Structure 1
Amino acid sequence: MEREETKNKINEPFTEYGRYTYADYLTWQLDEMVELIKGKVFRSAAAAPRRIHQEISGKVFNKLFNFLEKHPCKVYEAPFDVRLPVKSKKNEDIDTVVQPDICVSCDTSKLDDLGCIGAPDLIVEILSPGSNKKELKNKYEVYEESGVVEYWIIHPNEQTVLIYTLSEGKYLPSRLFTSGDVIESKIIPGFSLDLEYVFKELDCF
């Protein structure tokens, strides 16, 4: 009864109400995007992403989509649920559901009508004001533990990209890339991204 009364309350996170699962998540009707990270509920920092966030997301997604058009890997843009199971794939056992800005999965068996169940091969997160702790700590941990091979973090204001690559179960960081650099993906052979294209003509506020 207590849980029913709190389902429409959005706190970040609502630790006092215990652990939530994907089964709970499917019952919520909320006006803003939320994510589950190890049973705790996190909400977006704002009702909608900033304009610069969306411009960068569109550019990166467009490049990936065009490159993968005739490729077995599939690319998706938020909102898109990625469930990261630990014990089993049952809804009541999954306690991590995230919505990466962009994700690529090369294993189509992980894709279903609800999104992706299991770790995508590549995840791109674009930082927004207030989201840095969630992206840099909480998501870093679950992506590493779940086996996301590449994790890109794009900082719009600083115009930088940091790439974490999974090696023997641990993330190894790249150097910090910035405008003028061309970055490549190890899991998508042949794909490269010119950061001058990504960051040009952006007015960051």
Structure 2
Amino acid sequence: MNPKKTGEQLLRESNVTYEMYADMPEDGKRYEVADGQLELMSPVPTPFHQLISNELQLILNSSCRNDYIIFSAPLDVIFSDREVRQPDLLMIHRSRLSIVGKRGINGAPDLVVEIMSDHSRRRDKLHKTKAYAKYGVPEYWIIDMTSSTLEQYSLHGAVYELIELYAEEEAIRSDKFPCVSFSMRQLMQEIPDLPD
């Protein structure tokens, strides 16, 4: 019987599968599998990031929970045996709950949200954008913590198009999710100022 490979060992391999990833011993770190490559997600989310995530989940639950289930990280979205992501938030229509499994989400959610920081900018805007489009996530939002903006992308064919960039009082709406209606100011106003 082969011993389980650690995250450190799998980081050096180029053909990591979901089973290898799921079989890793817990080491307190968060990973994703990107096109067969294990990626370390570090550093851990900041308190500000978590406050934004919690507030957004509260807003979405208050208006969308009759039609959608809203999940937050950490939760595996298993797109394929070689592509496993952990978006910050995601929504799945209740008619599609069959994709919710015991180990994670098996397939494309209806909406994926990433809360972007300086260290995750390249991953969120380039790598995850390509992965989410490839596996058919219909809508993708990127919240920029630095500028307090929300970029709304919609899938057209196999690529995302930037539909809107929201800031301040602009009402965030979606043709795909009529239950959505809030502004970045509404999202941010409940978040306390944190000391540096």
Is the pair's TM-score, using the shorter chain for normalization, greater than 0.5? yes
User: In 2, distance between residues paired with 1:10 and 1:50?
Assistant: 27
Instruction: Give yes or no for contact 1:20–1:40 (8 Å, CA) kept in 2.
Output: yes
Decide which of 177, 180, 197 is 2:169's aligned counterpart.
Answer: 180
Task: Give the number of equivalent residue pairs.
Answer: 191
* SS of match in other structure, 1:25: helix
Give the equivalent residue in structure 2 for 1:162: 151
Q: 2:138 maps to which residue?
A: 149
Give the match for residue 88 of structure 1. Answer: none
Residue 98 (1) aligns with residue 93 (2)? no
Cα deviation, residue 202, structure 1:
5.1
Calculate the aligned-residue CA RMSD, in Å.
2.1
Q: Please show how residues 38-53 of structure 1 align to structure 2 within 5 Å.
A: 38-46=35-43, 48-53=44-49
Q: Distance in 2 between matches of 1:18 and 1:190?
A: 41
SS in 2 for 1:162: strand
Query: Does the CA-based 8 Å contact 1:50-1:128 persist in structure 2?
Result: no
- Please state if 1:60 is matched with 2:56: yes
Cα shift at 1:66? 2.2
Please tell me whether residue 130 in structure 1 is matched to residue 119 in structure 2: yes
Residues 179 and 41 of structure 1: is their aligned pair in 2 closer, same or farther, counting only changes over 3 Å?
Answer: same
Query: Secondary structure of the residue that 1:134 maps to in structure 2?
Result: helix
1:139 match: 128
Does the aligned pair in 2 maintain the 1:45–1:129 contact within 8 Å? no
Q: 1:80 aligns with which of 75, 79, 86?
A: 75
Counterparts of 2:165 and 2:9, CA distance in 1: 35
- For residue 181 of structure 1, report the CA deviation from its aligned partner: 1.3
Structure 1: segments with no counterpart, 5+ residues: 86-93
Could you report, residue by residue, the CA deviation over 1:103-149 in whole angstroms, capped at 9, with x for unpaired residues?
01121121111121111010000013311111111110010010001
DSSP-derived class of the 2:176 partner: coil
Q: CA 1:4/1:111 → structure 2, altered by over 3 Å: closer, same or farther? A: same
Other-structure match for 2:179: 190
Asked if 1 retains the 8 angstrom alpha-carbon contact of 2:141 and 2:151, the reply is yes
TM-score, normalised relative to structure 1: 0.85
4+ runs of 1 displaced by more than 4 Å? 3-6
Partner Cα distance (1:8, 1:44) in 2: 11
Q: 1:25 to 1:161 in 2, by over 3 A?
A: same
Secondary structure in structure 2 of the residue aligned to 1:163:
strand
Separation (CA, whole Å) in 2 of partners of 1:17 and 1:70 = 43
TM-score after normalising by structure 2: 0.88
Q: Does 1:23 align with 2:19?
A: yes
